[in-house]
Structure 1
């Protein structure tokens, strides 16, 4: 959500920021509605004051048996006027809130201009893509040949965009999740958290998933939502709270099932498990002060990068351009892993600073150490990492000519010492 006071102070700058995302000007419209709302609120307050004064005057006249009929008639008119003003204020409030809720976050000045992913900027590359003496296969070719990645049975059970993993590949997926959690809790200072995968409207709205992304999420018959990522319950856990500065930053991590309808992705990544309706992900969420959020963003991104480095997966960090930055983010770094089977870099993590955009929606604040009014926190979220996509990267980078897969050293303790899946 946006700060209406900042918009009121400089609607042209607000429109200029949104224009970078290709959004038409709305600043003047919002300012006009806001001005009309404030005028209506002032008029309502004046009517309320006059009504109280009339009540006193009418009471005094009645005690002295004076004629109060004119004042009573005025009171009736004022009551009618107040009803109309209350309706107008509520209507304007709704219009302003609905429009603000539909607008994406303002971008950080360092975010490059550009319409889509073609304008993203590579920040750095780690590792060297492996060179094979054979034609590299994609993960689904490897997994199906091993008899441990079954899309046919998954389709029979659930339809497209699901997978059944078996044997060592199922254990490898479990090992990845456990390894990531251990790294984030033991090495990176995140608190492990188990969260519900069903949440209410307020949690989805507060984390900017509603109303914008309703069509990309699954909803149950009782009105709850299957989470698209653990970002939702982790971040929403501080909704409505006033935190003490001494407790910040608050760093949380969770391994959870995630659910996405993949609306609008027809024909994209239809083979394999790159784009699934159900998948596991280790999420990182930080809640911090405005002064520390930029440093926290860098720290979070490095935590995700360290996972890939320990797994030996080549990756590159990409700063997303204006047209590719997500709805709630002010700035996003994507990590893209090298997939030899595709011969391409593919997103495996996205780390975003939302600044106070989510905090305003869910009224999450902190109490400054020096005193004063509570201030909105800054919230950040990042994948650390998506388990399925990391499994793909480990399989494709660790493949051998005979179709076997070399297990990264750091995962072998989680695999009972297994060094190769064959």
Structure 2
């Protein structure tokens, strides 16, 4: 959500930031709606004040025996009582229309975000690791996975496309990855592990920006709840409608959860394999902090996600997203893209975003500033990491010519003595 005061104070700057997002100017239309709402509010206040004043004058007129004046005042009060409900409804409708417009506008990009139309305009900022040189042609995980316990057919029979049934050693490796990620984020990177609801109400999805814009990408229930697309929703909303008294240190939260996405906007993309699923697991990172701490916290969160890839010795690159490829709620986003030798390409495995006070305004999440006054927090979120995509990266990077997969040494404590996945 955007700050109306800032739009009023500098509409040109607001429109310029929207232009970087590829959007038409909106400040004039927003301010016109705001003026209409404020005018209606003023009329309503004046009508209410006049009704109260006239009611008092009726008693005074009756006390003086001035029945004619009293009857005129009674008629005026009756007329106001008749017209005010319509005025109240008009004010509510104007306010809702303005709120709906503001809710549909994406966050404004930070000044250092490169301009661009799509992923081709993103800027690579770093690489880590050297892709392995194979003495055989590496396979994609979708081709080698079934022999190792990655069962696409069984899942498709019971659930349809974009679901996977993991068996035996493959399921163990998936669990090991998730536990390893949680342990590293909590023990080394300062995050507090949480166990969160998977079903949330409209308000929670609105707070983090999934609703109303991305309605078609979500799975809803028959009782008006939503399956979370990421635990960002639950973790970030843990401070909704609150004033955090002490935020001198960022509030860092993490959770491992199933995630559910309809993938309505991804038709035809990654239809093979384990890359893009309707149900998947992810270790999410969320930070709630003061505005002055946000830049350092963004760097910390990126480094926290990178630490997983480095520990698993998976080559990756870090990419700063351009204005046209950045998510709806982000001010700045770094993607980490892991090397997949089967595809001979880098693919996204984590997206880490600083959202400024965009989500905080939607949630009314504040902290007690040094001056004692409440101010909106800044929120950040990112994957630390997507478990399924990390599983894919391990399979493709550690595959052997005989179809087996060596387990990364960092996962040895979690694998119960299994050092290699072997094909059936």
What does residue 40 of structure 2 align with?
40
Quote the Cα distance in structure 2 between the aligned partners of 1:273 and 1:95.
41
What does residue 163 of structure 1 align with?
164
TM-aligned CA deviation for residue 247 of structure 1: 6.2
What does residue 55 of structure 1 align with?
55
Quote the Cα distance in structure 2 between the aligned partners of 1:245 and 1:27.
35
Whether the 8 Å CA contact 1:245–1:369 is kept in 2: the answer is no
Q: Secondary structure at the match of 1:299?
A: helix
What does residue 151 of structure 1 align with?
152
What does residue 231 of structure 1 align with?
232
* 1:2 to 2:2 alignment: yes
TM-aligned CA deviation for residue 106 of structure 1: 0.6
What does residue 270 of structure 1 align with?
271
Gaps of 5+ in 1: none
TM-aligned CA deviation for residue 74 of structure 1: 2.0
Q: Secondary structure at the match of 1:245?
A: coil
Say which is worse superposed, 347-356 or 13-22, in terms of deviation.
13-22
What does residue 132 of structure 1 align with?
134
Quote the Cα distance in structure 1 between the aligned partners of 2:244 and 2:283.
25
Whether the 8 Å CA contact 2:247–2:289 is kept in 1: the answer is no
Quote the Cα distance in structure 2 between the aligned partners of 1:397 and 1:31.
54
TM-score normalised over the length of structure 2: 0.97
Question: How big is the alpha-carbon RMSD for the aligned residues of Structure 1 and Structure 2?
Answer: 1.1
Whether the 8 Å CA contact 2:104–2:212 is kept in 1: the answer is yes
Whether the 8 Å CA contact 1:248–1:287 is kept in 2: the answer is no
Q: Secondary structure at the match of 2:94?
A: helix
* 1:319 to 2:327 alignment: no
TM-aligned CA deviation for residue 246 of structure 1: 4.2
What does residue 299 of structure 1 align with?
300
Q: How many residues align?
A: 420
Where do residues 264-413 of structure 1 align in structure 2 (5 Å cutoff)?
Answer: 264-371=265-372, 373-413=373-413
Quote the Cα distance in structure 1 between the aligned partners of 2:65 and 2:234.
64
Quote the Cα distance in structure 1 between the aligned partners of 2:132 and 2:143.
18
**CA distances 1:42-88 after superposition (whole Å, capped 9, x unpaired):** 22212222211111110112233322111122223333443332222
Quote the Cα distance in structure 1 between the aligned partners of 2:28 and 2:271.
44
TM-aligned CA deviation for residue 23 of structure 1: 1.5
- Compared with structure 1, are the counterparts of its residues 246 and 16 closer, same or farther at alpha carbon in structure 2 (3 Å cutoff)? closer
Quote the Cα distance in structure 1 between the aligned partners of 2:114 and 2:104.
23
What does residue 21 of structure 1 align with?
21
What does residue 108 of structure 2 align with?
106
TM-score normalised over the length of structure 1: 0.98
Say which is worse superposed, 83-92 or 162-171, in terms of deviation.
83-92
Quote the Cα distance in structure 1 between the aligned partners of 2:185 and 2:310.
14
Quote the Cα distance in structure 1 between the aligned partners of 2:94 and 2:9.
19
Say which is worse superposed, 112-121 or 79-88, in terms of deviation.
79-88
What does residue 195 of structure 1 align with?
196
Whether the 8 Å CA contact 1:217–1:226 is kept in 2: the answer is yes
Quote the Cα distance in structure 1 between the aligned partners of 2:416 and 2:20.
51
Gaps of 5+ in 2: none
Quote the Cα distance in structure 1 between the aligned partners of 2:145 and 2:86.
67
